[in-house]
Amino acid sequence: MSYQVNEKGYYGVFGGAYIPEMLYPNVKELREKYLEYIQDPKFQEEYLQLLKDYVGRPSPLYLAERLSAKYGAKIYLKREDLNHTGAHKINNTVGQILLAERLGKKRIIAETGAGQHGVATATVCALKGLECIVYMGAVDIERQAPNVARMKMMGATVIPATSGSQTLKDATNEALRDWINNPTDTHYIIGSVVGPHPYPDMVARFQSIISEETKWQLLEKTGTSSPDYVLACVGGGSNAMGMFYHFLDDEHAKLIAIEAAGKGVNTGESAATTLLGKEGVLHGSRSIVMQTEDGQVVEPYSISAGLDYPGIGPQHAHLHTSKRALYVSITDDEAMQAGLELAKLEGIIPAIESSHALAYLSKMEFKGDETVVVCLSGRGDKDLSTYMTYFGL
């Protein structure tokens, strides 16, 4: 079975480009040009150079010995938290800013939840001297204040989204509205593997550097490039897609995607999309979406702003329904405890998003010498005030 996008922009029944007519020329231009630009050797050279010298790649693959001893497996952390700006999001924004340059766009817009994608976008706009406008839910502006300051320092304008739950979904709506109003000079840097085709495929390709490196790093460290388990958290799904990408056809590697259960899957305050959602269209693609009987999007909830999203990327919907990957969920409380555990056992404070992936280790049973790779998608600096409030620090 193919897990990649077909020529029509679909993964099985999911994907496509469900967009208003006003956006059609922009999306068509991207669809026609993205592969040609990305595969151009000059583009690749510039992209890889920036990843090396500016982002600091390759990110280490770290054998977490005390964590491994606790769970009885060999647990490796893919350290995306050590990237410049503190998360995996920069892999994608570096790629998309080079694409925007080639498309001749001078104005960049983005949406952000945890603020990591907003920061990563403001960063590459400063790097290239381009105007940057970031839409962010008013609730997220509050809980991710350090990231808002970082964006402003780098010259970006941060516009609050005040509709709905005032989180990522609403920021995405505002960004799409902006793009409709500014179709010629603006490129929309979407921050996850969501949106109309070709975004999910384009973002997955830019993030696939995560699994590309992991394979050779594992080979160097263990003598095989094929792990037993690969774990990553899923908001829209970009760190997970990057972490899974080069393992999709390696059936030995069991892929596990961890969503946010919030206060509990059945509490009405959750973002566990694959458990609670059904097929529908959100932000330009057909996927699995949390919705009411009559198709209204349900407001999601998670303590972690980056996972607080009522959908998942269409490729994830396909991996879920085809059973290539297992989709599970972790509550706020479980994630917070896992974040504290990593800090105490390894001296690494993870982003609360990444803590969801770590928390799943305690639900697994290992035979002893199995190899597990967990994508540590980001660092916890942005979440310090949430950790402080939660643990009374």
Ligand X SMILES: Cc1ncc(COP(=O)(O)O)c(C=O)c1O
Q: Which of 78, 117, 143, 205 binds ligand X (CB under 6 A)?
A: 117
Q: Which amino acid is at 323?
A: K
Residue 345 burial (10 A CB sphere; 0-12, 13-18, 19+): middle
Helix (H, G, I), strand (E, B) or coil at 374: strand
Strand order of the sheet with strand 14-15? 10-11, 14-15, 285-289, 278-282
- Choices 128-136, 176-184, 237-245, 267-275; region in contact with ligand X by CB under 6 A: 237-245
Which residues ranging from 288 to 327 are in contact with ligand X (CB under 6 A)?
A: 306-307
Q: Is 329 in the site for ligand X (CB under 6 A)?
A: no
- The Cα–Cα gap between 2 and 6 comes to 9
Nearer to ligand X (CB atom), residue 88 or residue 215? 88
Going by the DSSP 8-state scheme, the letter that residue 245 receives in this structure is G
Shortest distance (Å) from residue 112 CB to ligand X: 7
Shortest distance (Å) from residue 332 CB to ligand X: 15
Q: Which of 15, 137, 237, 339 binds ligand X (CB under 6 A)?
A: 237
Nearer to ligand X (CB atom), residue 74 or residue 346? 346
Strands (E), 194-339: 229-233, 254-262, 278-282, 285-289, 325-331
- Choices 7-15, 111-119, 276-284, 340-348; region in contact with ligand X by CB under 6 A: 111-119
Is 111 designated active site? yes
Q: Is 374 in the site for ligand X (CB under 6 A)?
A: no
Nearer to ligand X (CB atom), residue 9 or residue 236? 236
Q: Is 113 in the site for ligand X (CB under 6 A)?
A: yes
Nearest to 183 by CA among 32, 25, 29: 25
Residues forming beta bridges with residue 134, ordered by sequence position: 110, 158
Contact 131, 106 (CB under 8 A): yes
Residue 93 burial (10 A CB sphere; 0-12, 13-18, 19+): buried
Site string for ligand X, 12-51 (x = CB under 6 A): ----------------------------------------
Is 334 designated active site? no
Is 377 designated active site? yes
Contacts to ligand X by CB under 6 A = 87, 113-114, 116-117, 192, 233-240, 306-307, 351, 353-354, 377-378
Residue numbers annotated as active site? 89, 111, 377
